[in-house]
């Protein structure tokens, strides 16, 4: 009589195909995102906050417009003051100003981060050289370092600009400030994206030059500040202004930025600071003012609101040129150091 021993029959084990490995994102792009995930989370949270705030302000825009209209139509300053204090226009105006400021000065944060973390810290710690020994060329490493944040910055900043314009159209345009104000101008067009990209390139170059995080951050911040202030000072000179004479010089076009206004005396002397007779409503009133003041002519040089887009495009072109030069310098420096 045989007994069961519990042993498995001898022979080869049946073939079992190996389980597929779980998918793990790989590649240089994913490495950049993973390495700088903290900055990615901060950027995403800031963008979501801006988007939510702009959508909410767009919703209260009609109320802000109605409140401003009631205030303008009021015959009593006290009533107007009450409306200003209690209506949605105050929240609307403050909210737009805050968002515009954040978009305008995004360049500084981007430049500091790029100089300190994107290139400076990795060169200081040796992480970059370790990547170069793992079949990643220095040029490819730098290209990924610049391309990934450039795409994210372009998409996010463009979204904020478009939503900002959408929100301004929903409310009272007078509450968002003149188009020529620095914060409004930069946050309302493609120049905001160009500033962010210029800050990225300047920061990356500072990190490659100094190869230390903190000094590179300080240098990038200084370069961004100089670039921002120079363009802010000469912005209205980037496109030819218009000049009018005679009575037209006394009635400034709505929304225009007056650069210079003056008058001509009976002796032919030009007074560039004279505001005499400005705002006269009729030809008779103008004649009396001219006779009383001894003036013979007037002139006004100004930038009309129609020059908004030419100025935007010229400044954007200059900023992109700076970004391109800084990027080219960064690649040339990296190639010389790794040759």
Residue 241 in 3-state DSSP? coil
Q: How far, rounded to the nearest angstrom, does the alpha carbon of residue 211 sit from its chain's CA centroid?
A: 27
Residues 254-280, buried b or exposed e (16+ Cβ, 10 A)?
A: eebbeeebbbbeeeeeeeeebebbbeb
Give the pLDDT confidence score for residue 159 in this predicted structure. Answer: 96
Distance from C-alpha of 93 to C-alpha of 271, rounded to nearest angstrom: 38
User: pLDDT digit of tens for each residue in the chain (339 aa)?
Assistant: 455 555 555 656 666 666 654 545 557 788 888 888 898 999 999 999 999 999 988 888 777 766 555 454 444 444 444 444 445 677 888 888 999 999 999 999 999 999 999 898 888 888 888 878 877 888 999 999 999 999 999 999 999 999 999 988 876 666 677 899 999 999 999 999 999 999 999 999 999 999 999 999 999 999 999 999 999 999 999 999 988 877 677 777 788 898 887 777 666 666 665 555 665 555 666 666 666 666 677 778 889 999 999 999 999 999 999 999 999 999 999 999 887
25 — phi, psi (to 5°)? -60, 140
Give the pLDDT confidence score for residue 271 in this predicted structure. Answer: 65
**pTM confidence score:** 0.82
Do residues 84 and 176 touch, judged by C-beta distance below 8 A?
Answer: no
Give the pLDDT confidence score for residue 205 in this predicted structure. Answer: 96
- CA triple 303-308-309, angle to 5 deg: 135
7 — phi, psi (to 5°)? -80, 145
Give the pLDDT confidence score for residue 327 in this predicted structure. Answer: 96
* Edge-to-edge order in the sheet of strand 295-303: 242-245, 295-303, 257-265, 270-271
The structural domains of the chain, with segments of one domain joined by +, span 28-239+307-338, 257-303
């Amino acid at each position: 009589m045989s007994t069961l021993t519990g042993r498995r029959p001898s022979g080869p084990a049946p073939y079992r195909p190996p389980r597929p490995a779980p998918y793990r994102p790989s590649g240089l792009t994913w490495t950049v995102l993973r390495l700088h995930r903290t900055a990615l989370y901060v950027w995403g949270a800031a963008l979501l906050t801006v988007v939510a705030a702009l959508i909410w302000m767009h919703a209260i825009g009609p109320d802000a417009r109605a409140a401003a209209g009631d205030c303008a139509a009021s015959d009593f300053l006290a009533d107007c003051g009450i409306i200003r204090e209690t209506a949605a226009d105050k929240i609307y105006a403050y909210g737009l100003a805050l968002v515009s400021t954040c978009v305008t000065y995004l360049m500084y944060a981007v430049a500091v981060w790029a100089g300190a973390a994107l290139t400076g810290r990795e060169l200081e710690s040796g992480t970059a050289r370790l990547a170069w020994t793992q079949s990643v060329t220095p040029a490819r490493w730098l290209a990924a370092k610049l391309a990934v944040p450039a795409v994210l910055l372009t998409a996010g900043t463009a979204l904020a600009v478009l939503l900002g314009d959408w929100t301004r159209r929903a409310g009272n345009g007078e509450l968002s400030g003149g188009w020529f104000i620095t914060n409004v101008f930069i946050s309302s067009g493609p120049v905001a994206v160009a500033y962010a990209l210029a800050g990225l390139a300047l920061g990356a170059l500072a990190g490659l030059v100094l190869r230390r995080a903190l000094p590179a951050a300080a240098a990038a911040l200084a370069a961004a500040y100089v670039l921002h202030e120079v363009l802010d000072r000469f912005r209205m000179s980037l496109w030819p202004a218009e000049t009018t004479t005679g009575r037209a010089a006394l009635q400034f076009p709505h929304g225009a930025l007056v650069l210079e206004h003056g008058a001509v005396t009976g002796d032919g002397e030009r007074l560039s600071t004279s505001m005499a007779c400005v705002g006269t409503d009729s030809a008779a009133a103008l004649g009396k003012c001219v006779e009383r003041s001894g003036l013979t002519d007037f002139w006004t040089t100004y930038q009309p609101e129609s020059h908004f887009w030419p100025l935007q495009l010229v400044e954007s072109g200059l900023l992109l040129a700076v970004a391109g030069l800084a990027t080219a310098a960064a690649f040339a420096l990296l190639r010389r150091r790794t040759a």
